[in-house]
Amino acid sequence: MACECNECREFGGPDPGKMKMKFFVGLIPMFAVAMAGLVKEKRWKELKIMGATAAVFFTIPRYLICARCDGYGKNCYAYYLGKLTSMYLPKVEGKKVGPLGLSIEAICLSIMTMTPAWGLRKNLPMLGLYGMFSEIMALLHLNHACRHCYLTATDWRKSCLIGQVGNLIFGYETDAEKRGFKVDR
């Protein structure tokens, strides 16, 4: 990778231990609770909406973002989507990542995370468990991937609003030097 932070120098990309934590403590439990709860509550409409949204998420934004990004084909901080995308979409040369792909991705992520909450609204224990894992997943991602992009990006990621929100929450810039980042904001 082009990044020269300590993590990228040591691992050639994101730290596999942190990525495992993001998957096994955040993302996988969140979707397992969502699927189990929606099936238990017989919320088939919500399951269909999630499936259709996932189909859009793994095609259009991946073509408009991942296939054009310098992380294409690499283990990137966004749940390895750069590597995954390279398995089914060709690289797009000469085009930059733009707001359309980012907007579609944001809409898809919103639908995929809010639909289970809507479907579980009558089962408060399941809704609470889903909400807890959703928050854990979001915080893990903000504190790892968003921190990295916020501190190291030189392209379209430099102005990411989510990274700016993460900086407000976690204060990325205050501990940047001890993590091996050079901050020039």
| Whole-angstrom distance, CA of residue 79 vs CA of residue 87 | 14
The distance of Cα 71 from the centroid of its chain, to the nearest Å, equals: 14
**Torsion sign over Cα 180, 69, 87, 162:** positive
pLDDT of residue 124: 96
Mean pLDDT of the chain: 86
Choose the most confident range, by mean pLDDT, from 11-20, 46-55, 174-183: 46-55
Q: Is 68:138 a contact under the CB 8 Å cutoff? A: no
The ranges assigned to domains in the chain are 11-137
pLDDT band at 1 (very low <50, low <70, confident <90, very high): very low
Interval 27-67: pLDDT, tens: 999 999 999 999 999 999 999 999 999 999 999 999 999 99
Alpha helix positions (H), 41-123 = 44-57, 60-64, 81-86, 99-119
Residues with Cβ within 8 Å of residue 137, at least 6 apart in sequence: 22, 26, 27, 30
Joined tokens for residue 71: 């992380």
Please give the model's pTM, rounded to 2 decimal places.
0.82
Q: What is the amino acid identity at position 137?
A: M
* Stretch 129-144: mean pLDDT: 90
